Chain A
């Protein structure tokens, strides 16, 4: 439980840094529009998208800080949080669900890249790179886990 307490303390530090970075990106996104496209609409769209995404990210970080701080103050809440995060059934659900989702995503990316190849070269290459990167990451993780277990 002491290790978990230290993990929460480290988590608060990281979450604070990420929250501060998110706020900085939100401010920057309003100061400088994206130069992605010549049209005004595309620039403001990406600006809004970045601001929205990082607003949610900052909110998630602040929630994490609040939960961690509450756990560090109360032993009972710390124990409940520890059980919730280390429950074996929950971990098994995540593992099995994510394994299936990973395979589904690989198939979807591959299919999308084949279809994109008929319409747009940039999209085709982007999707191919994403598919290859996902496949390599998955293979590498499988190798690492098979060596460690």
Chain B
């Protein structure tokens, strides 16, 4: 899933480690999110969006989500 985490992180001048500690995950998880290799859970997505002060839809791109 595409995300704007890296873009938002740079706007707020945050390192991956700082963001990881702030939302309660490891740095590896942030790296995987930014590389679009891992899809965050609802709780983590909410924590990240809340930390940046934006809506979830502004952080995560749901346009590629498959309709079954």
Point out residues on A near B: beta carbons under 8 Å.
79-80, 83-84, 86-90
- Give residues 5-36 of B contacting A (CB, 8 Å): 20-21, 24-26, 28-29, 32
Residues of chain B within 8 A of A87, CB atoms compared: 25-26, 28-29
Cβ-Cβ contact count across A and B, 8 Å cutoff: 28
CA distance A88 to B32 in the complex (A): 12
Contact sample, A vs B, 26 pairs, CB 8 Å cutoff = A79-B21, A83-B20, A83-B21, A83-B24, A83-B25, A83-B26, A84-B26, A86-B24, A87-B25, A87-B28, A87-B29, A88-B25, A88-B29, A88-B40, A88-B41, A88-B43, A88-B44, A89-B25, A89-B26, A89-B28, A89-B29, A89-B32, A89-B38, A90-B26, A90-B28, A90-B29
Point out residues on B near A: beta carbons under 8 Å.
20-21, 24-26, 28-29, 32, 38, 40-41, 43-44
A55 → chain B, closest Cβ, in Å? 31
Which of A80, A83, A84 neighbours the largest number of chain B CB atoms within 10 Å of its CB? Answer: A83
Residues of chain B within 8 A of A80, CB atoms compared: 21
Residues of chain B within 8 A of A79, CB atoms compared: 21
Residues of chain A within 8 A of B43, CB atoms compared: 88
Closest residue on chain B to residue A90 by CB atoms: B26
Closest residue on chain B to residue A88 by CB atoms: B41
A115 → chain B, closest Cβ, in Å? 39
CA distance A89 to B26 in the complex (A): 9
CA distance A87 to B44 in the complex (A): 10
Which of A84, A88, A89 neighbours the largest number of chain B CB atoms within 10 Å of its CB? Answer: A89
Residues of chain A within 8 A of B38, CB atoms compared: 89
CA distance A84 to B29 in the complex (A): 10
Residues of chain A within 8 A of B25, CB atoms compared: 83, 87-89
A96 → chain B, closest Cβ, in Å? 12
Residues of chain A within 8 A of B32, CB atoms compared: 89
CA distance A87 to B38 in the complex (A): 13
